[in-house]
Amino acid sequence: MKIALDAMGGDHAPMVNIVGAKDALALYPKITKLFLVGDEDTLKASCKEHGLTDQRVEIIHASQVVEMHESGAKTLRSKKDSSISVATSLVKSGDADAVISAGNTGAAVAAATLKLRTLKGVERAGIASPIPNEHGICNLLDAGANPEAKPEHLVTYAVMGSIYAKQVIGVKDPIVGLMSNGEEDEKGTTFTKETFALLRQLEATGKAPFKFKGNVEGHDLFQTKLDVILTDGFTGNIILKTCEATAKAMSKWLKLEFKRSPFRLLGAAMAKGAFKSVKERSSYESYGGSPLLGVNGVCIIAHGGSSALAMQNAIRVGMETVEQGVNPHIEEALAALQ
Amino acid sequence: MKIALDAMGGDHAPMVNIVGAKDALALYPKITKLFLVGDEDTLKASCKEHGLTDQRVEIIHASQVVEMHESGAKTLRSKKDSSISVATSLVKSGDADAVISAGNTGAAVAAATLKLRTLKGVERAGIASPIPNEHGICNLLDAGANPEAKPEHLVTYAVMGSIYAKQVIGVKDPIVGLMSNGEEDEKGTTFTKETFALLRQLEATGKAPFKFKGNVEGHDLFQTKLDVILTDGFTGNIILKTCEATAKAMSKWLKLEFKRSPFRLLGAAMAKGAFKSVKERSSYESYGGSPLLGVNGVCIIAHGGSSALAMQNAIRVGMETVEQGVNPHIEEALAALQ
């Protein structure tokens, strides 16, 4: 298993990328090669600083970085020697099996789409972002690759997300829901209504690799047995960020309230383990990365604010996606619908 | 002040409506009349059960109810004697100053739009839903009245939301943000980009009653000094429900974790006051209701799951909106832009 890591991508790069890589190498002997892509001098110094001396590491120089605030797709074209571009090329050339990036999402999606191309039958790739649902992992798809999706894109996402759930998460009969502004069949916009009709049509043919649950709402993200929740990339991105922001605000307000009395602070300290467990359960760190489904190769999008643990887990998700051979199964499932 | 309450609307109607009305009447002597609209026998029995004997109460019979799962606008036309329809008519006829409903949102919006009509210069009404921001109340607008909004609608919402913030919340110089999938100016969809350009244009004329902050994201809901966050009703509805669902999930998981040890449970009990404060701060119960801005009258949309406290606060929001004369100020602000 050969991994290409965009070592310059993310808010805390290259430090967390290097430490995450080191931890992943220690945990996963299956990794035979780990390419660290980015400025050679910076990465050499960072490896030295963090004690990453593993022989499986190879630094690949890339002189540029697509910054987080830059327009991803546009900047990618002008910065030909950016770390995300060079890392993705390693998958294209077959030198690596998967590329992992916590950098500019738009740039990572554009690099994967342009260099690896989409799978047969796939018009647009989509990011499957894991949500900690009570019944297991539920993937929000698309979490931001395709903000102005068409109904047909969401149908492809339903197939891809289901195959991912089957192959990687081990779900037998995936259930797919469509995010809407109400659970009744008639709720939604022109876009979601068209998507709804297409999904019902596909289900009726008996060829869909999933059961379509219909429209779903906010509370279904966490409470309802669902493997995939479909949405356009604009709404999906906002949903993810809203979940994260709400959890952070709640946690911050609780801390402020605890501080209002020593008695409360003591109580909170006694219950500390509970807070830690919930944080672990709800944090993206534990999941690590979201596969970009639909490209001809494996590309894992990690959170921009990734910690070393998140990077390590993103590498793990990349390995699992490669191991389970998701892409051939997606092409097969899409071909079966024709 | 005369209030028309849809006494049959909401998941826990009429019980919470009656108790909420009783509490509001006790707190607000300014209320000279409170119409309870719904099935007469049911309401008489409920008033008796909950000890609502205030002389300011008048029951207005309405034989039908638009149920929560029904298509609001469509059902409104077929159920001419529904409680929301009759309650809204009381505002139209001038018998009441404000209508309050925790029932089917689509029906409440349709009733208000059809019966009261929109204000001069307003094409579509929008729901301003209060978000507990660290700097005060931030209104998410639109929270669900207009799922397929056009850019011009959002510009009107910016004006209406700013006037509401000025008049009712007492903000001197309202700040408006546009919800997008990234904070950079170039982020967004065709829809948000067009809206962005219109807002900048309006700001450049010097006539806008607000400062336009640009694109905002999930974390800005709670952390950034903003008075209005603009979005289409589809996304707004999903954002609200996602916030609520995340807070609920976090709270549920914490409780489960506390139960894993008596020591943790004791700690949680000691810090109980903190949990209560955060719940109060983050709950819609404390805010009570969201004004439907842009209709020629006052209509307050309460949460479907409203408790008696939420109903009482929805009545308060209705009173404040009437008292501050928001509508004439909105018409004036819109006329000034011409």
User: Is the complex ipTM higher than 0.90?
Assistant: yes
* Confidence category of residue B74, pLDDT binned at 50, 70, 90: confident
Contact B274 A268 (CB under 8 A): yes
Residues 93-122 of B with CB under 8 A from A: none
Contact B242 A243 (CB under 8 A): yes
pLDDT of residue B56: 97
Chain A residue closest in CA terms to B218: A242
Instruction: Please state the rounded mean pLDDT for residues B46-57.
Output: 96
For residue A304, what are the CA distances in angstroms to A67, A70, B249, B303? 11, 13, 24, 35
Chain B residue closest in CA terms to A258: B274
Confidence check: pLDDT of B282 > 90: no
By percentage, how much of chain A surpasses pLDDT 70? 100
Chain B: closest CA distance from residue A166 (Å): 26
- Please state which CATH class domain B126-285 belongs to: alpha beta
Chain B: closest CA distance from residue A8 (Å): 20
Nearest to B281 among A219, A245, A253 (CB): A253
Same fold, A1-121+294-326 and A123-286: yes
Chain B: closest CA distance from residue A65 (Å): 18
Confidence check: pLDDT of A144 > 90: yes
Confidence check: pLDDT of B78 > 80: yes
Q: Where are the domains of chain A?
A: 1-121+294-326, 123-286
Largest CA distance in chain A: 66
Sheet with A298-301, side-by-side order of all strands: A57-61, A33-38, A2-6, A98-101, A298-301, A290-293, A126-133, A136-141, A228-230, A175-179, A211-216
Confidence check: pLDDT of A283 > 80: no
Q: Does domain B1-122+294-326 have CATH number 3.30.70.20?
A: no
* Confidence category of residue B284, pLDDT binned at 50, 70, 90: confident
Q: Provide, as residue numbers in chain B, all residues whose Cβ is less than 8 Å from the Cβ of A144.
A: 181
> Scanning the structure block, which residue is given the tokens 């020697």?
A81
Q: Provide, as residue numbers in chain A, all residues whose Cβ is less than 8 Å from the Cβ of B272.
A: 267
Confidence check: pLDDT of A280 > 90: no
CB A246 within 8 A of CB B187: no
pLDDT of residue A338: 80
pLDDT of residue A220: 96
Chain B residue closest in CA terms to A234: B181
Q: Tell me: the pLDDT tens digits for B110-168? A: 999 999 999 999 999 999 999 999 999 999 999 999 999 999 999 999 999 999 999 98
For chains A and B, CB pairs below 8 A equal 197
Instruction: Please state the rounded mean pLDDT for residues B1-10.
Output: 96
Contact A71 B186 (CB under 8 A): yes
* Confidence category of residue A279, pLDDT binned at 50, 70, 90: confident
Chain A: closest CA distance from residue B167 (Å): 28
Chain B: closest CA distance from residue A193 (Å): 12
Contact B260 A237 (CB under 8 A): no
Nearest to A282 among B188, B250, B263 (CB): B250
Chain A residue closest in CA terms to B219: A245
* Confidence category of residue A68, pLDDT binned at 50, 70, 90: confident
Architecture of domain A1-121+294-326: 3-Layer(aba) Sandwich (3.40)
The fold of the A123-286 domain, in CATH, is Isopropylmalate Dehydrogenase (3.40.718)
Instruction: Please state the rounded mean pLDDT for residues A327-338.
Output: 93
Confidence check: pLDDT of B179 > 80: yes
Confidence check: pLDDT of A284 > 80: no
Chain B residue closest in CA terms to A259: B274
